[in-house]
């Protein structure tokens, strides 16, 4: 496929791609809730002549857009989810949220799906001109930030006939990425205790928040005894409602990462033991 043909097409369609990117920036949505962002890209690809299948792999915001026929089947992966708390107006160099504490595209996810869609449309242009043969397929992948979107697509066999899958990410240079990424487990630990008045009847309470904090202490001591490449990080998503009420519910969300799946499973099993130990120390129960 002549490079000049691709560059001519992309340059000519630049206003469209800019408009798509800006629209996704202005309507950031969290993983698996990217209704507007997903529709923006799916509608644009459908208008460009792609056959679009929406709501694939049980995810309403996942879609696959296909053009061409036969081999090779080349997949271009596009993401469009945002992160919480990163809302930001376009063009502002200081913190200026569109919605206070709202989601935003902190690492260019308004660009990720748009540029991949631009690439897919450029290949379609080349197929129509007879410059290349085969099938180009755009995968609308939700929830990249929590790593579940492509996982469910793989589980449903949506990549079985793909010869090559390509993705990209904004960065400081134009280069081939050869990084090895980590395996990961994501788990929420919800602890259940007994509520009571923290001053009048503390002996009647069993604090779910105490269990969360003790689990975190145990996890932090665990860090000394894992491979240096392992990463354990967490946020407390529910710590109770008021200081004078012993929390009967608290939750912590963990990521465990390591280069190999067996390393993740080993550390994760030890983390499960720590959660059980926190329950024993506090008289609480928990679920994962």
Say how far apart CA 129 and CA 262 lie, in whole Å. Answer: 48
Distances (CA, A) of 187 to 91, 157, 178, 240, 277: 36, 24, 28, 19, 17
36-55: pLDDT as tens digits: 999 999 999 999 999 999 99
Domains with residue ranges and CATH for the chain: 3-166 (3.40.630.10), 183-287 (3.30.70.360)
Say how far apart CA 220 and CA 199 lie, in whole Å. Answer: 30
Say how far apart CA 250 and CA 286 lie, in whole Å. Answer: 9
Q: Residue 135: is its pLDDT beyond 90?
A: yes
Q: Radius of gyration of the chain from Cα atoms?
A: 23
Block residue for tokens 């067996």: 262
Q: Residue 1: is its pLDDT beyond 70?
A: no
- Transcribe 42-54 into DSSP letters: HHHHHHTT-EEEE
188-240: pLDDT as tens digits: 999 999 999 999 999 999 999 999 999 999 999 999 999 999 999 999 999 99
Please say whether the beta carbons of 138 and 124 come within 8 A: no
Q: Whole-model pTM? A: 0.80
Please say whether the beta carbons of 247 and 208 come within 8 A: yes
């Amino acid at each position: 496929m002549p490079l000049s043909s691709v560059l001519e097409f992309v340059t000519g369609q630049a206003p469209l791609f800019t408009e798509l990117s800006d629209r996704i920036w202005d309507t950031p949505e969290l993983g698996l809730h990217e209704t507007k962002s997903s529709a923006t890209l799916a509608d644009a690809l459908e208008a460009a002549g792609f056959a679009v299948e929406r709501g694939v792999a049980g995810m309403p915001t996942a879609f696959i857009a296909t053009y061409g026929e036969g081999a090779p089947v080349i997949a271009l992966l596009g993401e469009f989810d945002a992160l919480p708390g990163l809302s930001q107006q376009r063009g502002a160099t200081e913190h200026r949220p569109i919605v206070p504490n709202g989601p935003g595209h902190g690492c260019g996810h308004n660009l990720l799906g748009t540029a991949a869609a631009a690439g897919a449309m450029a290949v379609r242009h080349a197929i129509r001109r007879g410059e290349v043969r085969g099938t180009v397929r755009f995968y609308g992948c939700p929830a990249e930030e929590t790593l579940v979107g492509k996982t469910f697509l793989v589980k449903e066999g949506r990549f079985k006939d793909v010869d090559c899958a390509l993705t990209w990410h904004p960065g400081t240079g134009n280069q081939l990425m050869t990084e090895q990424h980590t395996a990961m487990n994501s788990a929420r630990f919800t602890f259940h205790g007994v509520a009571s008045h923290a001053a009048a009847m503390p002996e009647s309470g069993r604090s779910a928040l105490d269990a969360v904090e003790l689990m975190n202490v145990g996890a932090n001591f665990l860090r000394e005894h894992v491979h240096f490449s392992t990463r354990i990080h967490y946020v407390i998503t529910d710590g109770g409602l008021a200081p004078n009420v012993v929390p009967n519910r608290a939750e912590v969300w963990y990521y465990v990462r390591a280069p190999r799946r067996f390393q993740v499973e080993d550390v994760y099993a030890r983390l499960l033991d720590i959660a059980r130990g926190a329950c024993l120390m506090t008289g609480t129960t928990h679920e994962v």
